[in-house]
Amino acid sequence: DTAGRIVQVGIADNQTVKAGDLLFVIDPEPYKIALAQADAAVAAARLNVEQLRAAYSQAMAQQKSAKSEVDYAQSQYDRAADLAEKGINAKSSLDEARNDLDKAKQQLAVAEQGIISAKA
C-alpha cells in the first residue's frame, strides 16, 4: 500500500489503458524526506559504532598500561619487602611501596571497569 497526494494524472477520463501505462504520479517529497531521515539515522549509527570502537580501544590501552603499572609496583614492593626483611630498608619505604601497589591495583580495576562499560 502506498499513500500520498497525487501530483499528476497520466490518463484522461474514460481513456482506454493497457498494462504499463502511467496512471498517476504520487508526490515523491514525503518519501524523499523519509529516505533522507533514514540515511541520517544510518550515518549517526555508524558514527556511534566508531565512537564505541574508539572507546573500547582506549579502555583496552588503559587496562594494558594499568596492568604494567601493577607489575612494576608489585616488583618494587617485593624488592622493598625483601630489603626490609633483611633490615636494609626502612619500614616507611615498604609502606610507600605497598601504597603505590594499592593505587596501581585500583587504577587497574578502574580500567577493567572501563572495558566492561565500553562493551555494554
Residue 1 lies in a domain: no
Model confidence, pTM: 0.62
Share of the chain above pLDDT 90, in %: 83
Count of domains in the chain? 1
For 8-28, the pLDDT digits (tens) are 999 999 999 999 999 999 999
Residue 60 lies in a domain: yes
For residue 60, the 8-state DSSP code is H
Residue 79 lies in a domain: yes
- CA 42, distance to chain mean position in Å, is 16
Q: In this structure, what C-alpha cell is assigned to residue 57? A: 580501544
Pairing between strand 6-9 and 24-26?
antiparallel
Q: Which amino acid is at 22?
A: L
Q: What DSSP assignment string belongs to 10-31? A: -S-TT----TT---EEE--HHH
List the domain range (segments joined by +) for residue 96. Answer: 6-119
